[in-house]
Amino acid sequence: MTSTAFPDPADTWNRRFAEDGFLFGTGPNAWLREHASVWQPGQRVLSVADGEGRNSVWLAQQGLRVDAFDIAEVGVAKARRLAAEQGVDVNFTVSDCDAFPWPEAAYDGVAAIFVQFADPALRTRLFANMRRCLKPGGTLVLQGYTPRQLVYRTGGPPIESHLYTEALLREAFAEMEITALREYEAELAEGSGHRGRSALIGLVARRRPVAA
């Protein structure tokens, strides 16, 4: 059994990823690209629900050591091929987010780009795991849609409780040092899956270093 608001998410996403091409393109998400300089080459980063690998492969191209997981084996197979074509190593795993081992304080970074499959209960567990697997001083880069996206419908789940507001993210990551938190609108051109005017939110937050 998997834990998500959608019935059989692996099947749903495997079908979507079985289409030709890359649903969200092969280039990295723009918010991630803009903020990835928080990590230094050689550092260890986890790409959460990585899909067809556009973000993990790009992070590996920046010299990072990248782990990535996703529930959809068809997506992960495409991601492995993309990494091989680009000549980079990414440690891919097929896993539901509740089943992923989430090693404690293991990563310098977590990239969580459009992980809004999670309903509020799953999101609470997912965000707790994302916080916990960061080393003290490690940084989370997260991108999602705001409820205003229900007007645009150019990507993301059309379910308000899955979408993020600044207040929601501020509360969810209150233990962390938030270094960027921005609601904004932009034209996305990330494959056919995320295309057109979009109501976005981006977060960068650092797990607080252990006090001396």
Q: Which of residues 79-138 bind ligand SAM (CB under 6 A)?
A: 96-97, 113-114, 117
In the list 36, 45, 59, 71, the residue contacting ligand SAM (rule: CB under 6 A) is 71
- Report which of 142, 68, 132 is spatially closest to residue 112, judged by C-alpha positions: 142
Return the number of the residue (55 or 146) whose C-beta is nearest ligand SAM: 55
Task: List the 134-145 sheet strands across, edge first.
Answer: 90-94, 65-70, 44-48, 107-113, 134-145, 194-206, 177-190
141 part of the interface to ligand SAM, by CB under 6 A: no
49 part of the interface to ligand SAM, by CB under 6 A: yes
Q: Give the SS3 label for residue 131.
A: helix
In the list 36, 51, 64, 88, the residue contacting ligand SAM (rule: CB under 6 A) is 51
DSSP designation for 89: -
In the list 43, 46, 50, 60, the residue contacting ligand SAM (rule: CB under 6 A) is 50
DSSP H or E run through 84 = helix 73-86
At its nearest, how many Å lie between ligand SAM and the CB of residue 174? 24
4 part of the interface to ligand SAM, by CB under 6 A: yes
Identify whether the C-beta of residue 64 lies closer than 8 Å to the C-beta of residue 42.
yes
What token pair was written down for 106?
A: 């293991």
Residue number of the CB atom closest to ligand SAM: 51
The torsion defined by the Cα of 43, 81, 200 and 37, in degrees rounded to 10, comes to: 20
Residue 37 contacts by C-beta under 8 Å, 6 or more apart in sequence? none
Neighbours of 212 (CB within 10 A): 3
Return the number of the residue (29 or 43) whose C-beta is nearest ligand SAM: 29
What token pair was written down for 46?
A: 């986890």
Single out the segment in contact with ligand SAM by CB under 6 A; choices: 47-55, 57-65, 160-168, 178-186.
47-55
In the list 43, 45, 70, 173, the residue contacting ligand SAM (rule: CB under 6 A) is 70
At its nearest, how many Å lie between ligand SAM and the CB of residue 122? 7
Q: Which of residues 148-207 bind ligand SAM (CB under 6 A)?
A: none
| Contacts with ligand SAM, residue ranges (CB under 6 A) | 2-4, 9, 13, 24, 29, 49-51, 54-55, 70-72, 75, 96-97, 113-114, 117
